[in-house]
Amino acid sequence: MAAVKRAYLAVYNWAVFFGWAQVLYFAVEALLRSGHEDVYAAVERPLQLAQTAAVLEILHGLVGLVRSPVSATLPQIGSRLFVTWGILWSFPETRTHILVSSLVISWSITEIIRYSFFGTKELFGSAPSSLLWLRYSSFLVMYPTGISSEVGLIYIALQFIKASEKYCIRMPNKWNYSFDYFYASILVLLVYVPGSPHMYTYMLGQRKKALAKSKTA
């Protein structure tokens, strides 16, 4: 059973690794070829597939396939899915902004390192010290640039959300329920205020433990 688990996790990690590698390649190619306005069009499908595949990581944590706490995984994946589908896919007006380039590059570099690290561990039982260092150090730069891009794109989208009233449910209706996507998006932005420093502090703690452990191994 343990061998099946390791084989599955190895396949999963390397499959998603190649998805993010494709995203990074297409993003850089579009950026160099025609500028940031064309980055989203170049990466849309592989970005959606690679990011949505991360939903499985929540399930992995719930069923005990991995040790990562769902309390840490769920907010990060949830916020990314919101930006991927709830902002970029839903509001095309945001897609040509330069923040899309910084978002995609930050996400893809982070995930290429992360998935290759876990994929290597599942295949060989351990990962090279250089890859371990990258896994627990790259976020020092990539997390702030990624989070800043997420927040910026949500903020930019607010005007289009309000004007379109997309996903809003107005009263009266048979459910006697109303929902305003504009205010829901503002709430998401507010969650970033305490959430981002908390997650960054959590990752700093994980980095300290992982690097200390590698020195004593």
Q: Where do the structural domains in the chain lie, given as residue ranges?
A: 1-216
Mean pLDDT of 78-95: 98
CA-CA distances (angstroms) from residue 211 to 113, 129, 140, 185? 16, 9, 14, 37
Q: How confident is the model at residue 20 (pLDDT cuts 50, 70, 90)?
A: very high
> Catalytic pick from 12, 115, 136, 143?
143
Task: Check if the beta carbon of residue 44 is closer than 8 Å to that of residue 32.
Answer: no
Q: How confident is the model at residue 217 (pLDDT cuts 50, 70, 90)?
A: low
Mean pLDDT of 189-202: 94
- For residue 68, the model assigns a pLDDT of 84
- For residue 135, the model assigns a pLDDT of 96
**C-alpha to C-alpha distance for 72 and 103, rounded to whole angstroms:** 20
- For residue 77, the model assigns a pLDDT of 96
Residue 28 backbone dihedrals phi, psi, to 5 degrees: -65, -40
- For residue 69, the model assigns a pLDDT of 85
Q: What percent of the chain has pLDDT over 90?
A: 89
Instruction: Please choose, from the candidates 206, 93, 95, 98, the residue with its C-alpha nearest in 3D space to the C-alpha of residue 143.
Output: 206
What are the residues whose beta carbons fall under 8 Å from the beta carbon of 74, sequence distance 6 or more?
A: 58
When mean pLDDT is compared across 25-29, 124-128, 154-158, the lowest value belongs to 124-128
pTM, to two decimals: 0.94
> Catalytic pick from 111, 115, 150, 181?
150
Instruction: Reply yes or no on whether 202 is catalytic.
Output: no
Q: How confident is the model at residue 215 (pLDDT cuts 50, 70, 90)?
A: confident
**C-alpha to C-alpha distance for 135 and 153, rounded to whole angstroms:** 26
- For residue 56, the model assigns a pLDDT of 96
Work out the mean pLDDT of the chain and round it to a whole number: 95
Given a cut of 90, whether residue 214 has pLDDT beyond it is no
Instruction: Reply yes or no on whether 143 is catalytic.
Output: yes
Mean pLDDT of 136-156: 97
When mean pLDDT is compared across 65-69, 181-185, 187-191, the lowest value belongs to 65-69
Q: How confident is the model at residue 47 (pLDDT cuts 50, 70, 90)?
A: very high
Given a cut of 70, whether residue 11 has pLDDT beyond it is yes
Residues in the chain: 217
**C-alpha to C-alpha distance for 84 and 57, rounded to whole angstroms:** 17
CA dihedral 18, 74, 87, 24 (to 10 degrees): -20
The one-letter amino acid at 97: H
